[in-house]
A = this chain, B = another copy of it.
Amino acid sequence: MNFASDNAGPAHPSVWEAMARADRGHATPYGNDDLTRDVANRLRDLIGLPDAAVALVTTGTAANSLALACLCPPWGRIYCAREAHIEVDELGAPEAFIGGGKLTLLDTEDGRFTPDTLRHAIASAQSGIHANVPAVVSLTNLSEAGTLWPLADIAEVVEIAHGAGLKVHLDGARLANAIAAADYDLRDLFATGLDAVVFGGTKNGLPGVEAVILRNGGKQLELEQRRKRFGHLLSKHRYLAAQMDAYLTDGLWRDLATRANAAAAKLSQGLQRKGATLLHPVQGNEVFCALPRAIHRALNAGGAAYYLIPDASLDGPEDAMLGARLVCNWSTDEDEIEAFLALL
Contact = CB atoms under 8 A, between A and B. Distances in A.
Interface of A: 2, 4-5, 7-11, 16, 19-20, 23-30, 57-63, 65, 73-75, 88-93, 95-97, 99-103, 124, 126-127, 129-133, 202-203, 207-208, 224-226, 228-236, 239, 305, 310-311
Contact of A74 (B99, B208, B224): B99
12 contacts: A7-B235, A7-B236, A8-B28, A16-B16, A30-B129, A59-B232, A75-B226, A75-B229, A89-B131, A91-B130, A95-B101, A99-B99
A16 B127 CA distance: 34
Contacts of A2: 25-26
Contacts of A88: 126, 130-131
A230 B96 contact: yes
A10 B27 CA distance: 8
A200 to B, nearest CB: 10
Contacts of A89: 130-131
A92 B65 contact: no
Nearest to A59: B231
Contacts of A16: 16, 19-20, 23
Residue of A88, A99, A101, A126 ringed by the most chain B CB atoms within 10 A: A99
A126 B312 CA distance: 11
Given A26-B9, A236-B11, A230 B229 contact: no
Contacts of A9: 26
A100 B92 contact: yes
B126 A311 contact: yes
A77 to B, nearest CB: 9
A131 B236 contact: no
A61 to B, nearest CB: 4
A310 B202 contact: no
A239 B8 CA distance: 12
Contact of A102 (B8, B30, B61, B92): B92
Contacts of A232: 59, 62, 231-232
A203 B131 CA distance: 20
Contacts of A96: 74, 100, 229-230
Contacts of A63: 231
Nearest to A26: B2
A226 B57 CA distance: 18
Contacts of A231: 57, 59, 61-63, 65, 90, 93, 97, 230, 232
